[in-house]
Amino acid sequence: MKTTAVFLLVLGSIAFTSCGQTPATTASDKASTSVETNAPNSDYKPAFAGQTRIGGVKTKTPYEVKKLSESLSSPWGITSLPDGRLIITEKGNGTLRIAKTTGELSSPITGLPAVNSSGQGGLLGITTDPDFAQNRMLYWVFAESVDGGTHTSVAKGKLSADESKIENATVIYRATPAHKGSLHYGGRILFDKSGNLFVSTGERSDMVTRPQAQQLNSGLGKIVRITKDGKAVAGNPFAGQADARPELYSYGHRNVQGLAFQPATGELFSNEFGPRGGDEINHVRAGKNYGWPTITYGIEYGGKKIGDAIQQKEGMEQPVYYWDPVVSPSGMTFYSGNQIPEWKNNLFVGCLSGMHIARLVIENNKVVGEERLLKEENQRFRDVTQGKDGALYAVTDQGRLYRIGGK
């Protein structure tokens, strides 16, 4: 039997109907103190005021949180189908599931290329074709085993009429070179308004591959822009440049697991994992260098400095926002619905080690407030998306599916 937990947040008080827990109450407007209370890992200073530890905010509007299911197997990506149902990737199984907004799950959808599920690999991000209602095409990212190691790869295929399998699955892009490792695949994918795909790749974590984030002849540590057939989009910033890959859109990334377009402006934002400290939110622009591993607000996991231990360098972009200590940001989305009006154009970020959903209020491409939602659930939030009904839907590593929306 499905278990459902419902939280009713009403005008600063909460009626809680499951497990006897007591989440924090809501309040109003901006606070002067940060929601982060733990000490940072380094004494690095931000490049500008508000780049980290911004003042906290709390939602005033009543909203409801429902646990719809806890029967998913390591879900990683979630997006909406045109009819309002949700399609979800299962990382280790290499299968898809369709979920109704009541929480009922389909049988596993098969027929995708085999995934390498070691470490951080597996079946990762997913998106639907803008014309899905007519062509039933899906696009996804996965860790693919090849000679010499594994790739971050992109594939496409058609969802069968009976929704039991993917037909004619085809790999359209591989972020080369291959590497014998199991970390930092990136893995998010989404369509822009022109019908092209943005895909994030990781630099694969190891010291030998880390420098490739700065190399334009490598597909590692990048955001790429490709067509539905996996080709470089005409007009990409490095097209025609010697020793540069034409599919590259931005570079100097560590491990981007969040991509989202700001609905009011159409501008692209990303997040990426820092090492020990230095998780980032970035405003992504064509041809820009986001610094890894030359500049960072983090240190090595063992405590050593990274490179020259610098945080700023000419020609390298500063993050819009960073966290130290880390929250491990993963899938994210901007809110454009009407159920919670004060959330309009806010960014919602699933956090793994942070075990919450971060709500970031962004004005003029700067973060001006932060709230931490669903901390009482003690879940590793892997992805969050906005449904067709205007509510937010989130999945967790532990297999849960949540709905967050108006009463």
Residue 2: its pLDDT value, please?
Answer: 39
Q: Concatenated DSSP letters for 334-366? A: E---SSSGGGTT-EEEEETTTTEEEEEEEETTE
**What mean pLDDT is reported for the chain?**
93
**pLDDT (mean) for 19-46:** 68
Short-list 199, 155, 207, 216, CA closest to 179: 207
179 annotated active-site: no
Full-model pTM: 0.93
Label residue 349 by pLDDT band (50, 70, 90): very high
- Tell whether the model's pLDDT for residue 374 goes beyond 60: yes
The span from the CA of 123 to the CA of 140, in Å, is 8
Tens digit of each residue's pLDDT (9 = 90 or more) over 59-109 = 999 999 999 999 999 999 999 999 999 999 999 999 999 999 999 999 999
Query: Of 151, 184, 283, 356, which is the active-site residue?
Result: 184
- Tell whether the model's pLDDT for residue 263 goes beyond 70: yes
Residue 407: its pLDDT value, please?
Answer: 81
Tokens for 117, please give them: 């599920």
Tens digit of each residue's pLDDT (9 = 90 or more) over 115-158 = 999 999 999 999 999 999 999 999 999 999 999 999 999 999 99
Q: How far is residue 230 CA from its own chain's centroid?
A: 21
**pLDDT (mean) for 227-233:** 98
Tens digit of each residue's pLDDT (9 = 90 or more) over 147-204 = 999 999 999 999 999 999 999 999 999 999 999 999 999 999 999 999 999 999 999 9
Residue 31: its pLDDT value, please?
Answer: 60
**pLDDT (mean) for 326-348:** 97
Label residue 5 by pLDDT band (50, 70, 90): very low
Q: Which residues contact 228 (CB under 8 A, 6 or more apart)?
A: 129, 137, 139, 156, 172, 195, 196, 197
- Tell whether the model's pLDDT for residue 205 goes beyond 70: yes
Short-list 144, 188, 166, 167, CA closest to 96: 166
Label residue 30 by pLDDT band (50, 70, 90): low
